[in-house]
């Protein structure tokens, strides 16, 4: 039951709002997205047949500003998941103090089994289906699980055609030539790196030779492995959907990155892989779940041997598992804080699009760092002073501004 991501989110949102002094009405409003659109998208497949896909776009709350968040292409997408993900986006934007509420979209599909042109038609069809509800001042999509800058480019082009003017600010995570931001591609991983440094500092562990385990080799996981390797840490385990690779001396990350395909598959090229369950239970300093939801649960939380967990994925740890690992003194940097780097640089991209003036990478890195550190210090401070776990502290930091905005607008 606790593996229901929406229900788990609602429990913590309620606890956070109550601690901030809000009553039933605010809880009622913020525990669900204010808008959810379900769409059916007909797509002409390469063999001439038509397949109809189901997609969603959830907008949690727009009291602070337009809603913002990615679109995932995955066979496991559900309405509940998209709703929970939109609430998490609100929390990320709140923690980073961005002028946005949270939104999220998803299409039930398996992009690994679709051709390039089929993906293009699906992406364009999705934008046509949601176009009335989204826009640069309403709701701004971005990449998420198994979507990338090419998909953002098609979506931006389709939206611009519908509106009949060029609208780069409609979507973020675009290719640089179409108004994408420097540093967006690596932003989630950069943010996670900053959080790992903070956590290691608190635990008194030196980054040189720190043992890192990363679950997932997609956008966040692969860049993170690269940056950790470059920083002198030992990345001893990585995984993808097919399995995991482990080497106590440290894996040859540049080689693995070189062999990785565009969906982050690499382990299938090697013999002697271990399972994803074993990977999570490796003895290490930092464990980074960078894949999907519900990976650390009450079933395996007791066997996790990391001293720090930094959640690069959305929702990798259940509430019960959060309690179990926190009780054992594991330092947890929760998803809504740790993975905020992506949306922070998306915000920079949107600002640059709105101004038509583009920044260099140093400026982006510097501002990203400032925002991540500020977010971390705020959450860590709430955790210490209120004596609550890091997840609840992050929810309190994340929902505060939204609740205040709702109040000022007179909605509750």
- Where on the chain is the footprint of ligand GLU (CB under 6 A)? 68-70, 92, 142-144, 172, 314, 339, 342-343, 346
Instruction: Give φ, ψ of 52 to 5 degrees.
Output: -105, 120
**Between 10 and 346, whose beta carbon lies closer to ligand GLU?**
346
CB 219, min distance to ligand GLU, A? 9
Active site residue 80: no
**Between 135 and 250, whose beta carbon lies closer to ligand GLU?**
135
**Between 62 and 285, whose beta carbon lies closer to ligand GLU?**
62
Token pair of 327 as six digits: 């009780």
CB 24, min distance to ligand GLU, A? 29
**Between 142 and 205, whose beta carbon lies closer to ligand GLU?**
142
Grouping H, G, I as helix, E, B as strand and the rest as coil, residue 182 is: coil
Q: Which of 92, 104, 182, 401 is catalytic?
A: 104
Measured in whole angstroms, the distance separating CA 252 from the mean position of its chain's CA atoms is 26
**Between 187 and 286, whose beta carbon lies closer to ligand GLU?**
187
CB 362, min distance to ligand GLU, A? 21
Instruction: Give φ, ψ of 345 to 5 degrees.
Output: -75, -25
**Between 70 and 237, whose beta carbon lies closer to ligand GLU?**
70
Judged on CB neighbours under 10 Å (0-12, 13-18, 19+), 35 is middle
**How far is CA 400 from each of CA 88, 96, 403, rounded to the nearest angstrom?**
13, 12, 5
Positive or negative: CA dihedral 106, 110, 112, 118: negative
CB 263, min distance to ligand GLU, A? 16
Residue showing the smallest CB distance to ligand GLU in the complex: 70
Nearest to 98, CA basis, from 402, 335, 392, 332: 402
CB 89, min distance to ligand GLU, A? 6
**Between 318 and 346, whose beta carbon lies closer to ligand GLU?**
346
Q: Are 55 and 107 in contact (CB under 8 A)?
A: yes
CB 295, min distance to ligand GLU, A? 16
E strands, 241-330, are 243-246, 284-289, 306-310
CB 340, min distance to ligand GLU, A? 7
Q: Are 104 and 69 in contact (CB under 8 A)?
A: yes
Show which residues are catalytic. 104
């Amino acid at each position: 039951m606790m593996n229901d991501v929406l229900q788990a989110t609602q429990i913590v949102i309620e606890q956070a709002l109550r601690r901030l002094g809000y009553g039933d009405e605010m809880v009622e409003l913020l525990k669900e997205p204010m808008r959810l659109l379900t769409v059916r998208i007909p797509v002409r497949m390469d063999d001439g047949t038509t397949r109809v896909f189901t997609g969603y776009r959830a907008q949690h709350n727009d009291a602070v500003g337009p809603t913002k968040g990615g679109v995932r292409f995955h066979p496991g997408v559900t309405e509940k998941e998209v709703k929970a993900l939109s609430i998490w986006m609100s929390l990320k934007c709140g923690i980073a103090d961005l002028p946005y509420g949270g939104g999220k979209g998803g299409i039930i599909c398996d992009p690994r089994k679709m051709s390039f042109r089929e993906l293009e038609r699906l992406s364009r069809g999705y934008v046509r289906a949601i176009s009335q509800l989204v826009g640069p001042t309403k709701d701004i999509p971005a990449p998420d699980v198994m979507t990338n800058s090419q998909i953002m480019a098609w979506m931006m082009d389709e939206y611009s055609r519908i509106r009949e003017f060029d609208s780069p600010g409609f979507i973020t995570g675009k290719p640089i030539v179409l108004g994408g931001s420097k540093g967006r591609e690596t932003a989630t991983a950069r943010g996670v790196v900053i959080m790992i440094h903070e956590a290691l500092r608190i635990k008194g562990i030196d980054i040189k030779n720190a043992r890192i385990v990363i679950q997932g080799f997609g956008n966040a996981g692969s860049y993170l492995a690269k940056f950790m390797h470059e920083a002198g840490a030992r990345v001893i385990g990585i995984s993808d959907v097919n399995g995991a690779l482990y080497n106590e001396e440290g894996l040859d990350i540049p080689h693995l990155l070189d062999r990785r395909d565009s969906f982050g598959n690499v382990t299938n090229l090697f013999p002697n892989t271990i399972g994803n369950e074993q990977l999570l239970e490796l003895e290490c300093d930092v464990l980074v779940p960078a894949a999907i939801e519900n990976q650390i649960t009450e079933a395996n939380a007791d066997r996790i041997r990391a001293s720090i967990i930094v959640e690069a994925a959305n929702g990798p740890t259940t509430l019960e598992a959060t309690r179990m690992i926190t009780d054992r003194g594991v330092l947890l940097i929760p998803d809504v804080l740790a993975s905020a780097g992506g949306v922070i640089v998306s915000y920079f991209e949107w600002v640059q699009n709105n101004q038509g003036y583009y920044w260099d990478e140093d400026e982006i890195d510097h501002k990203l760092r400032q925002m991540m550190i500020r977010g971390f210090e705020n959450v860590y401070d709430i955790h210490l002073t209120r004596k609550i776990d890091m997840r609840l502290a992050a929810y309190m930091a994340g929902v505060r501004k939204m609740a205040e905005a709702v109040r000022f607008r007179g909605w509750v």
